[in-house]
Chain A
Amino acid sequence: MNGQALAGLYPAQKQCLTATGTNISLRPDCANGHKDQIFQTFSMMQRLIKMKVLIILLAWLYTGCSDDKHRGKADHFEVLNIGLHHASIVWRSQAPYKGRVDYVLSGSEEMQLSARQTTRASRFHHVRLMGLKPSSSYTYSIDKTGKRFRFKTKPTPGTAFSFTIIANAVSKKIPGLIMAQAPEFVVCLQWRQPDEADYLKSVRPYLPVFNFTGPDSILLEKTLDAPLKSNFPGYIDWGGLRLYFINRAPLQAQAPDYSLPARPSAHLAGVIFTGGVFNELAPGRPVKPIIVKSWLHERLIRFNKANPSAKIAFAAVAANIAFETNADDITYLAIVPGKEQSEVVRIDVDVETMTAVFTGDGREISLKQAPLAAKRTCEQCRRLADQGAYEKSIAAYVAFIENNKGHFQIDDAYFAIAGILDEKLFRPKKALNWYTRLVKEYPASTLAQFAKQRIDYLLAYSDFDYQPLAAFEQIKKRDYPRYKNNPGQMRQLFKKTEIMVQTYSQSRIAPQMQAWLANQYADSDVNKAIDAFTYLRQKWPDHPRAQKAMFDIGEALYRDGQFKKALDAYKQAIEHWPQIKEAGSAQIQRCRRNLTRISLMKISAVLLLLLGLFFFVTAWGGKKGIIQRPMRLRIIIAIITLTVLYFFGAWLIHEQFASTRELVQIVLLFSCSATAGVMTSLYVCNLLRALKPPWPWLPGILAGCASGIGVMGAMVYLGIYFINIHFLTVVNL
């Protein structure tokens, strides 16, 4: 600050001024000749400082006000780039500013969250909302416009949803017609000319609109926001559906090697086609032969042969005449653009089925049907479970068992049903029935052994009508993996477990629950972990988990770095439970080793501190000539030479280092420590010989060497302790 304040002055002026902290004052002993000139400069500087403060204040006031009042009218709200856990809100304003979006899960009483624009202030705003839940509706408002909109995040593959297809948007009625269908997105087959009116404007804040170029957005056209627009791969994935967009680019699409990229996890697929292949269609001419001969149909057939598990079920095409026809299990739907009003077609997508509903006349066309129960395979049943449709999967397995008596996969079906009931739906009682059926009816099955194990486990905790078991399994297998990255939810989960332990304290699974809880606390709150383990020991002293609890307390303390307390806990654990002696003794040794490491670290630090103090005092005391100017050059040369040498040595054993960064750190540490050691040796040696009477030659050298080695050792130890402590095992530490 002082340097900056006096920077613009002449040396003579600087001599007459003193700077203390932020205050600048005139020296009383300064010559009068300079005084007037200095006073002028000085008062000018003070004015400048005041102006700076004023400007900053005004800027702050401006930005503060502009946030709330001077933003001008905002419009063109759009929701784009919706994912399972994120979405982008874009809009335009008259004045540039940094936009903010407040959002909340619709219908919930959760706290409202806010997201801010991360780019610089502008008239085009793009705010990305993160950490959203899939298949969930969010209500959002933009800044303080008072307007509330709503969008829905992408569904997970097993979830049902709807979307609408329109040929074109040429009427004011179209938003109402679309919104009445409650779709999750809109596909518009026709490209809107830039000068055309945007009739989908009121839809855009609620639903993403797509055309064959990707997201159909007015703002993206205007701002050329490349990250959102340019990476459109030619398809969109929504839930379990992959929707391909093929446009009128026949040269590319008609090429013999042209293929649609398959998505292994999709279970439904469709095509939106906006090309001119069906120009030959005319009223009165049969449609099917023309479609069957088209290159599009040939590509789709080829795709379906290559991807039997996710075949393309439909192709929605823009055509001048209305038709719908099925060729080779692909339904072709014509969507006729209207001059007054386009047809709105709603596609309902479920786990196994797809239906098109022509909203104008209510016609329903099945695009994909669930396989007939009699023809359903075990693989199809399993796929349903993979998509999260557990109930449907069980029903499908049951139908499979009914329709395929004597089939070699019946035992698989039994085990799969039991597994879904046991581990996905948490209904152990019902699962037990299926496991038992498997063991009784198919004792020779390879799955019978697994089923027996599971039966034993379920029967062991069948008290209280399986309620504590089901609840605990749910926490362990479903809730914990879901919330483990969310501390707030985890706290609630632990609280829920605590309540369960209290409620079902007499159940056989209660000690297991308490031990699980204590282990979870061990990763986040060691004191709570100790309390939980202590409660386990007191409440269920004979339970095997309680006997090991003292050892677990030691582990928690060890992980927390409280080695002394951990050592005591391990000792107690061995006393109470001799079976753990081997593991306990090993842990005791590790505790002792770590305590030694800490002590050595402290000693090294103190040693370096004392030596530093010693150098400071002796150098301050006027012992000059100890390190001469030529010596400094030698030190630099020594450091460089040592660094090069050490680098060479380190390169030979480079696989021993965790990263290049670590290698560089260790090399620099060693070269600096060695140089510091040598410097200390010389310093101490020279110091002792400069004393009166001077030290004898040999003791002086020995003392110097000892101090140098000490400094080097302490520095190396400290460095390794903080860079990678595990290297200390090389010297048995």
Chain B
Amino acid sequence: MIKRILGLLLAGLPFFLPCAADCKATLGIEEIKAYAAAGVKIEHLRKHKTVDWEKIETLFAKDAAKVVEKTDRAKGTDYSRAIAQALEQCRKGLKARVNQQILAKGLQHITVLNIFGLCDALMRGEAAAGPKISAFFEEIRPTFVRRDKDFFASAGKLEKTAELALEHLSQGPSEDLYTYKTDLENIILRTYALSVLYEIMEIEKFLQTNPDKCAVKQMEAMIFYRIIAGRVKRNSADAHNTITRMLDGSYSMMKASILEENLKKGLRGISLK
């Protein structure tokens, strides 16, 4: 009898161990690196003329899905389902250009949520969080490069500031940790605020010539805004309401100057341009 029980337990062990590892609340550094690389690769693949959605789906399932699921559980988001749906729509060719933004920008939102969470963990004295933040950052680095190009003539203003903060954070807890934590948080918020602004500027530009592109830009702006919405709402409920009304409204309501004014109000203390 005992032999049978032991035999069953031993037989179940190979199945139990990966499941237990999978259920761990914290993410391993290798897992994060794979996720970041997958994010960058997906971004690259979806910009091809003929997009291979199956390849993207496989890549996502292999390296990114676990991180997304864990983040959903920890942060109360619902990106696993939303991304799965969006990928299905894309594969079917239904509004692919709009739906792929849920995948692309959703991953960035997941990344930022994880970075902020790891920053708090670092503040609590978890030294291992430092290198993980740097690993996660690789996934959103291209956005920093693009916004540097769009707003600062590729001077690397955003990327360099983030790099400096990451360098200090990766060294683990220190007396002035909070300075670099807020530096990193602020530069992320600034970059995504600029991203929202950029998309609305694009809508203003394409409104007369290419209305189809506006739908894509609107979706991008909406997901970018989700990343910074918490801070904006806390600092100025009025600004948050104005921005959400604008992003949910018609294209004619989208004015970059009004958006910029409200983003400034909402991100009190963080300069935009």
Contact = CB atoms under 8 A, between A and B. Distances in A.
B123 A160 contact: no
B123 A180 contact: yes
A150 B270 contact: no
A508 interface: no
B178 A179 contact: yes
Interface stretch (A170-178, A410-418, A556-564): A170-178
A139 to B, nearest CB: 7
B160 interface: no
A487 interface: no
A107 B234 contact: no
Contact of B178 (A107, A137, A150): A150
B120 A180 contact: yes
A348 interface: yes
B269 A176 contact: no
Interface residues of B, number: 22
B182 interface: yes
Interface string B126-159: 0000000000000000000000000000000000
Interface in A195-234: 202, 205-206
A107 B176 contact: no
A32 interface: no
Given A107-B270, A108-B271, A152-B269, A147 B175 contact: yes
B179 A173 contact: no
Contact of A150 (B120, B124, B174, B179): B179
Given A160-B236, A348-B234, A107 B186 contact: yes
A150 B271 contact: no
Given A107-B270, A160-B236, A77 B124 contact: no
A205 B175 contact: yes
B182 A150 contact: yes
Contact of B176 (A147, A180, A182): A147
A106 B179 CA distance: 10
Interface string B29-49: 000000000000000000000
B125 interface: yes
Given A176-B120, A180-B120, A206-B178, A160 B268 contact: yes
A149 interface: yes
A348 B182 CA distance: 19
B123 A137 contact: no
A148 interface: yes
Contacts of A139: 179
A64 B82 CA distance: 64
A139 B176 CA distance: 11
A173 B236 CA distance: 28
Interface in A562-599: none
Contacts of B238: 392
A660 B124 CA distance: 66
Contacts of A206: 178-179
B53 to A, nearest CB: 39
B235 interface: yes
B236 A149 contact: no
Given A107-B271, A175-B123, A77 B175 contact: yes
24 contacts: A77-B175, A106-B269, A107-B186, A108-B271, A136-B269, A147-B174, A147-B175, A150-B182, A152-B269, A160-B235, A160-B236, A172-B125, A175-B123, A176-B120, A176-B123, A176-B124, A179-B123, A180-B120, A182-B182, A202-B175, A202-B178, A206-B178, A206-B179, A348-B234
Given A147-B174, A206-B178, 18 more contacts: A77-B175, A106-B269, A107-B186, A107-B269, A107-B270, A108-B271, A137-B269, A148-B179, A150-B179, A172-B125, A173-B124, A176-B120, A176-B123, A180-B123, A202-B177, A205-B175, A206-B179, A392-B238
